[in-house]
Structure formats: structure tokens, C-alpha cells
Amino acid sequence: MKRIFFVEDDLSLINGLSFAIKKQGYEIEIARTSSEAENLWVNGKYDLA
């Protein structure tokens, strides 16, 4: 499965985009802060950021 790394702090954008992306069969990791993004980035491999 393709993995997408997404950094966004707006909940309405997160909800809409994550729904649409997951519906297409992708796995998505979402970070809402820069420190959260840094931790996720270090621990994962992503196909798109």
C-alpha cells in the first residue's frame, strides 16, 4: 500500500483530504504540529509527502 505523509493543522482540511485519500486506497499519516511531523518523519517511510 502506498503511504502518504501529510502535515496540516486545519481539522476541516484534514477530515476532507484524509477521507478522499483513504477512499482511493492509500494509507495516510497526519501530523498537526512540526514536532509531531518530525517524529513521524523519522519513524516512517513514505511514498509522498
Cα–Cα distance, 23 to 1 (Å, whole number): 13
Instruction: Tell me if 26 is assigned to some domain.
Output: yes
Over its length of 49 residues, how does the chain's per-residue pLDDT go in tens digits?
799 999 999 999 999 999 999 999 999 999 999 999 999 898 788 999 8
CA pair distance 14, 7, nearest whole angstrom = 9
Q: Determine, yes or no, domain membership for 48.
A: no
* Contact (Cβ atoms closer than 8 angstroms) between residue 6 and residue 28: yes
pTM for the model stands at 0.77
User: At 26, is the secondary structure helix, strand, or coil?
Assistant: coil
Domain count, the chain: 1
Residue 37 lies in a domain: yes
Neighbours of 38 (CB within 10 A): 12
Inside any domain, residue 49: no
Residue-number span of the structural domain to which 17 is assigned: 3-43
In a domain, 39, yes or no: yes
